[in-house]
A and B are shown apart, each in its own frame.
Chain A
Amino acid sequence: DQQVKQNSPSLSVQEGRISILNCDYTNSMFDYFLWYKKYPAEGPTFLISISSIKDKNEDGRFTVFLNKSAKHLSLHIVPSQPGDSAVYFCAASRNQGGKLIFGQGTELSVKP
């Protein structure tokens, strides 16, 4: 039972344009969502998070949007840079607990 889904395995974007990564979840009890960036053979690097009491959170070039009614969140990266090329994972938790449920990841490629 995949409670967190990233339906796009890959995404290719031109440098300077916007990258939009999507994530859907099925468990309405999730109340805390995070995005991580990961390179092969390394641990995930935290990017940005959002609590279910909000619908938007920004940090520099990264913005996360949460649509609770649709059980959907997205990560916007503007402008995209070649160094953003990596696999991006969304993750969710209940009661902001220590158990994160991860999506399968989306590989972002930003071309110069």
Chain B
Amino acid sequence: KAGVTQTPRYLIKTRGQQVTLSCSPISGHRSVSWYQQTPGQGLQFLFEYFSETQRNKGNFPGRFSGRQFSNSRSEMNVSTLELGDSALYLCASSALTSGGRTDTQYFGPGTRLTVL
């Protein structure tokens, strides 16, 4: 079974621009979560999508948004980029347990975003 894929792997943008990152989950996984990793703040949760609906949201400004499509693929968008948005953006997918809870999250390789 193919793992979680993320595109692009590397991206360079300038301040004020916007960016869209893409994530394809493991086949059969319907939950997709996004995380930001920076040296100072570590791994921080951005949001989770399930069945095209945002189920959970972290403490990030509204410039960070996402969506999920009917095939469970997900995108996240960052508008009006700031220097501090430079980070590794990670996507994770998971199945649901028989009880409807999120099972183990499996991560993609990440997208390295550099904002100049």
Contact = CB atoms under 8 A, between A and B. Distances in A.
B105 A98 contact: yes
Contact of B45 (A34, A41, A101): A101
Majority-rule SS of A interface residues: loop
Interface in A74-97: 89, 91, 93, 95-97
B110 A43 contact: yes
B58 interface: yes
Interface string B37-77: 00000111100101000011010000000000000000000
A41 B103 CA distance: 24
Nearest to B58: A99
Interface residues of A, number: 23
Helix, strand, loop or mixed for chain B's interface? strand
Contacts of B107: 36, 43-46
Contacts of A103: 42
Contact of A99 (B33, B88, B106): B33
B21 interface: no
Interface string B1-41: 00010100000000000000000000000010101000000
A102 interface: yes
Contacts of A104: 42
Contact of A42 (B55, B92, B101, B109): B109
Given A46-B107, A89-B43, 12 more contacts: A34-B104, A41-B88, A42-B110, A43-B107, A43-B108, A43-B110, A98-B50, A98-B55, A98-B94, A99-B56, A100-B105, A103-B42
Interface of B: 4, 6, 31, 33, 35, 42-45, 48, 50, 55-56, 58, 88, 90, 92, 94, 97, 101-110, 112
